[in-house]
Amino acid sequence: MADAKISALPTGAFASGDYIPYVDGASGVTRKATKDELRGSMGTQGSQGSVGDQGAQGATGNQGTQGSQGSIGATGADSTVAGPTGPTGPQGTQGTQGSIGVQGPQGSQGSQGSPGDGMQGSQGSQGSIGATGADSTVPGPQGTQGSIGLQGTQGSQGSIGVDGAQGPQGTQGTQGSMGSIGIQGPQGTQGTLGSQGSQGSIGATGAQGAQGTQGSQGSIGATGYAVPRISSSVTGGTVTPNADTTDIREVTAQDAAIFFDTPSGTPVDGQKMILQIKYAGTAGTISFTGSWTAGGVALPTAGVTGKYLHLGFMYVTANSFNKWMLLASAQQS
């Protein structure tokens, strides 16, 4: 069975007690197990998710079509009981209003009738006054008032009275608005140039102006020759150069061993110093403290009798080196 292809195996319903072959990853051995053994324990149920926001209300659907009217039932037999009055049918639509007829022409105005009363008669003349009768003991009626007489002619105009005193002067009226500026007239012709006047006398000297700003500094000139600082001795068993005051340290007639100690002072990065040694008698050994080191050229250990030995050192501080490095060595031939 192990050699058969999986595709060639027969199919069938799988029961929980059936075995399932599997390969042990640690040992590589093929083993078997039931479905229940391979099934892991059921995990705990996850917490229920929060309720989502309510969706927007859908649009109202279209109104359904009206159903067809049912057929009228058959007429029943005449009832002996009057049925209820059916509902009043809907009122019919009002008919359209008829058009207004054409207005007839306006009749002519009748003539005005003549006034009913006749013309007023003329007033009769006043009768003569009768003779005065005897005094009546009864007061007579009051006579009619006579008509008002005609207005008399206007009298002549009186003379003009004396002129009264002049009244106070009225307040000044508001000033009228300024008129618009007229158009500028054409420019007149240029007059002839007058003769030049005589030169005026020279005015007094003005006060001295403020001092101008200082000009920029000129470029640095070429470096001149720096006179070397030389420290010298005839001989020396132990020599301690001073880096603050010495550029060249001379030993002019050494006749024994010599030892160069650490220079005193405060040297700076790149500072140069030359050691010059000449043996007058027997040449001795040369040794240095640890502050002197080879730099491509080995430190010398001895000199030559009667000859100069020049050693060129440079002080190096990079990477905290802080030593005098030998850059050149020259032995007189």
What DSSP string describes 198-210? Answer: PPPPPPPPPPPPP
Kindly give the confidence (pLDDT) of every residue in the chain, 333 residues in length, as a single tens digit, with 9 standing for 90 and above.
445 565 666 776 667 677 777 777 888 888 887 766 666 666 666 677 676 676 666 566 566 566 566 565 565 566 566 656 656 656 656 656 545 445 556 545 545 545 445 344 455 455 454 465 565 466 556 645 546 546 646 656 656 556 656 657 767 767 656 656 657 767 767 767 767 777 777 778 778 878 878 878 877 767 768 899 999 999 989 999 999 999 999 999 998 999 999 999 999 999 999 999 998 878 889 999 999 999 989 999 999 999 999 999 999 999 999 999 999 999 999
Return phi, psi of residue 220, to 5°: -70, 130
CA atoms 129, 133, 135, 141: torsion sign: negative
pLDDT, residue 1, reads 43
In which domain, by residue range, is 238 found? 231-331
pLDDT, residue 214, reads 81
303 in any annotated domain: yes
- The two tokens of residue 302 are 């001895």
**Domains contained in the chain, number:** 1
103 in any annotated domain: no
62 in any annotated domain: no
296 in any annotated domain: yes
71 in any annotated domain: no
**Locus of tokens 């009363």:** 117
Taking phi over 0 as left and psi of -120 to 50 as alpha, with beta for the rest, 245 belongs to alpha
pLDDT, residue 120, reads 46
pLDDT, residue 121, reads 40
- The two tokens of residue 328 are 């050149």
pLDDT, residue 154, reads 62
The β-bridge relationship of strands 272-279 and 248-254 is: parallel
Q: How many CA atoms lie within 13 A of 83 on its CB side?
A: 7
pLDDT, residue 294, reads 97
Helix (H, G, I), strand (E, B) or coil at 5: coil
pLDDT, residue 208, reads 83
pLDDT, residue 48, reads 72
Q: Do residues 263 and 288 lie in contact, with contact meaning Cβ atoms separated by under 8 Å?
A: no
pLDDT, residue 201, reads 79
pLDDT, residue 210, reads 82
**CA-closest candidate to residue 272, choices 238, 295, 298:** 295
pLDDT, residue 249, reads 97
Q: Do residues 258 and 286 lie in contact, with contact meaning Cβ atoms separated by under 8 Å?
A: yes
86 in any annotated domain: no
247 in any annotated domain: yes
235 in any annotated domain: yes
